[in-house]
């Protein structure tokens, strides 16, 4: 932040050698800057302090160590010839475990369930459905699926994953040519930086006030500091008078409270293209103020713009360290000890294999024999006249590579117990497992990841609550526009949500907020029917693929919305487990004379490989070309006691002609015992 650079002073006089700045704000701005600087100093001291929870690492050092494991960092080889031959191999087992769990959890993106109730504590299902649709629209436009996936991975790599959400409106100047070919400048809405935004905040970009307050909303203050490109800063802050006048890339403004002056210095880390953005949040003082290169851009008392007055951040961790610690234990941190042992053994086994394939040699006598003797096809002659006792032989090292391989397997099993087993990760087992055994493995994996699943549900719930607050704050507020008759009216956004099922058909749903709608309490029935009829007529103009919802924004804003997230939806069954269950069921069912063997073969045997083999129908024997497709007994080729399919259909038709409804009764009798499919 603004304290990262120190003012250079003369060693003898103590005078500051930096240039005094032309930036001379009011005393209120100076006092607020001094307060933020002091809060940052305290938070920075906490961040750089070693903690027992991090194995005596600081937060930044813990992050660096875990990210080296995630990135499968391999150190440079030794320059010592005696050590350079040793293997530098590194098994990225931590990365593989993280990717496997992330794929398992993000197999389907988790969305919250929305419930609404009015002031009388009565459930409003229509309003809940509208809110769910709006959240779908918001998630689609804010890149929710990418944010969800990145947050899951980030929580397993770092002590915490932070997600920032906000609603913003940014404008930019663009150049267009008019009808005469002249270039005109026009101000338009910058859609890239406007609307509902969600982004991942790196763990080392967020400073907190208290490391032993686990609830982020209870933190006294939060400081978000990051370095951004100057062009990005222009897109966000262009039009702010202070920004346009003072903020330049690479120039930091430092406040000296002792002299009550701002000094400007050149920051070599920022260079000529970067600026430092610092956003300070304070819960008790209700503040959200922004500094760029040490210059305050907002009013000193600028309030938190959120309607709910919460911090616009949610956090997620892989595992809790203690119930009081703000940060958590990442999966990379959890597997560090086993990873070190495994890679040490892995390199030792490789080195031992090198030695066994090309063992070291020893020469007896004074004959000089170099390493080229080991080259394939090389012939070396030792003179017996000069060295009658000279000889050359290899050294047996008695390496026990089996013990090393066994230990590697043990360490891998230990890491699977702490994370996810290979079967749940989608890998085929080396030996055949029963469906029951695989089901137990799947259940164990769910138990191991149970805490992380709950952490994911907390992320989805907290993120959903912030999104609902933003929707109620910004989507239900109209924009005043001038009409043709010089009157002012409120214009609301309309949202189109495609692929919504209604009455068995996929339709595009349009949600419109309309202040002209009457209140729900005093609307007569005939007026409600007229409104419904008007909406229906509007829908018919678009054919049969449009569904329109009209909502009173005031009534919608007055409702209370609740969120529920099901943790069981996060960990679906793996394909390997489903395949094992299907094959085991086929093994029992195919021997039972009471089942339809064609359906059992198609659905359970061939269906287990359907994803890789394609349509299973091409493997089935057609009628009249071999064994009947639907044998009625345990022996292949046994005659059907009810006759051929043609005879059964003729009997069914005769029964229908003889007595009404007899066909259904006949088909019902033929299906007793599961012998004949209903459509046979």
Integer-rounded Cα radius of gyration of the chain: 36
CB 157 within 8 A of CB 330: yes
Neighbours of 371 (CB within 10 A): 8
pLDDT at 97: 87
Total structural domains within the chain: 1
Do 90 and 76 contact (CB within 8 A), yes or no? no
212: helix, strand or coil: coil
Residue 392: inside a domain, yes or no?
no
Domain that holds residue 662: 640-680
Position 654 scores a pLDDT of: 43
Other beta carbons within 10 angstroms of residue 269's beta carbon come to 11
Residue 647 resides in a domain = yes
Decide if 663 is inside a domain: yes
Q: Do the beta carbons of residue 321 and residue 159 sit within 8 Å?
A: no
Both structure tokens of 675: 């012998």
What is the structure's pLDDT at 280? 97
| Residue 56 belongs to a domain | no
Counting as low any pLDDT under 70, the low residues of the chain are 1-18, 363-399, 414-449, 480-489, 503-504, 519-522, 567-577, 610-618, 622-680
- The answer to the question of residue 646 being in a domain is yes
Structure tokens of 283? 């819960």
Residue 519's φ and ψ, nearest 5 degrees, are -70, 145
598 in Cβ contact with 620 (< 8 Å): yes
What is the pLDDT at residue 187?
Answer: 85
Residue 664 domain-assigned (yes or no) = yes
Per-residue pLDDT, 273: 92
Q: What is residue 33's predicted lDDT score, i.e. its pLDDT?
A: 94
487 falls within a domain: no
Position 343 in a domain: no
């Amino acid at each position: 932040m603004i304290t990262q650079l120190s003012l250079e002073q003369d060693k003898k006089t103590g005078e500051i050698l930096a240039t005094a700045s032309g930036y001379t704000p009011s005393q209120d701005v100076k006092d607020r800057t001094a307060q933020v600087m002091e809060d940052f100093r305290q938070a920075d001291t906490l961040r750089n302090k070693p903690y027992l929870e991090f194995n005596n690492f600081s937060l930044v050092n813990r992050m660096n160590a875990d990210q080296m494991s995630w990135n499968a960092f391999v150190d440079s080889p030794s320059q010592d010839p005696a050590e350079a031959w040793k293997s530098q191999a590194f098994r990225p087992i931590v990365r593989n475990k993280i990717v496997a769990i992330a794929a398992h959890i993000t197999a389907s993106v988790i969305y919250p369930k929305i419930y609404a109730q009015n002031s009388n504590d009565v459930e409003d299902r229509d309003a809940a459905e509208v809110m769910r649709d709006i959240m779908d629209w918001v998630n689609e436009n804010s890149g929710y699926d990418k944010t969800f996936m990145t947050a899951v991975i980030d929580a397993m790599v770092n002590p915490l994953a932070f997600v920032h959400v906000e609603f913003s409106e940014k404008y930019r100047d663009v150049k267009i040519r008019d009808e005469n070919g002249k270039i005109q400048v026009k101000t338009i809405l910058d859609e890239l930086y406007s609307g509902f935004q969600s982004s991942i905040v790196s763990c080392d970009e967020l400073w907190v006030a208290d490391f032993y307050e686990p609830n982020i909303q209870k933190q006294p203050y939060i400081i978000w500091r990051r370095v951004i490109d100057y062009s990005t800063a222009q897109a966000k802050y262009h039009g702010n008078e202070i920004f346009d006048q003072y903020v330049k890339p690479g120039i930091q403004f430092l406040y000296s409270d002792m002299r009550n002056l701002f000094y400007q210095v050149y920051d070599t880390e920022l260079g000529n293209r970067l600026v430092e953005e610092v956003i300070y949040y304070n819960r008790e003082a209700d503040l959200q103020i922004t500094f760029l290169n040490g210059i305050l851009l907002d009013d000193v008392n600028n309030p938190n713009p959120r309607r709910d007055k919460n911090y616009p951040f949610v956090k997620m961790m892989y595992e809790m360290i203690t119930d009081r610690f703000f940060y958590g234990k990442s999966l990379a941190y959890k597997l560090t000890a086993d990873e070190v042992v495994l890679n040490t053994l892995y390199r030792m086994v490789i080195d031992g294999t090198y030695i066994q394939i090309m063992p070291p040699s020893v020469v007896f006598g004074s004959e000089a024999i170099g390493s080229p003797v080991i080259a394939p096809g090389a012939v070396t002659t030792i003179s017996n006249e000069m060295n009658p006792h000279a000889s050359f032989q290899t050294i047996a090292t008695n390496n026990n590579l089996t013990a090393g391989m066994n230990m590697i397997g043990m360490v891998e099993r230990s890491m699977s117990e702490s994370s996810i087993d290979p079967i749940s990760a989608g890998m085929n087992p080396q030996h055949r497992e029963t469906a029951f055994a695989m089901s137990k493995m799947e259940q164990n994996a769910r138990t191991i990841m149970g805490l992380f699943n709950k952490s994911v549900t907390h992320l989805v719930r907290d993120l959903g609550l912030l999104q609902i607050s933003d929707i109620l704050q910004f989507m239900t507020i109209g924009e005043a526009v001038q009409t043709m008759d010089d009157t002012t009216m409120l214009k609301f956004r309309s949202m189109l949500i495609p692929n919504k099922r209604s009455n068995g058909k996929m339709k595009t749903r349009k949600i419109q907020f309309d202040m002209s709608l009457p209140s729900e309490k005093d609307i007569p029935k005939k007026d409600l029917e007229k409104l419904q009829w008007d909406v229906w007529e509007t829908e018919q103009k678009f054919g049969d693929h449009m569904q329109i919802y009209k909502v009173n924004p005031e009534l919608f804003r007055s409702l209370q919305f609740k969120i529920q997230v099901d943790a069981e939806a996060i960990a679906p069954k793996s394909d390997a487990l489903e395949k094992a269950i299907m094959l085991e069921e086929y093994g029992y069912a195919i021997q039972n004379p009471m089942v339809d063997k064609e359906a059992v073969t198609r659905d359970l045997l061939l269906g287990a490989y359907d994803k890789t083999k394609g349509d299973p129908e091409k493997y089935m024997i057609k009628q009249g070309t071999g064994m009947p497709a639907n044998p009625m007994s345990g022996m292949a080729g046994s005659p059907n006691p009810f006759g051929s399919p043609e005879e059964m259909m003729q009997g069914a038709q005769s029964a229908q002609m003889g007595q009404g409804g007899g066909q259904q009764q006949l088909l019902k009798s033929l299906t007793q015992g599961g012998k004949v499919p209903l459509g046979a």
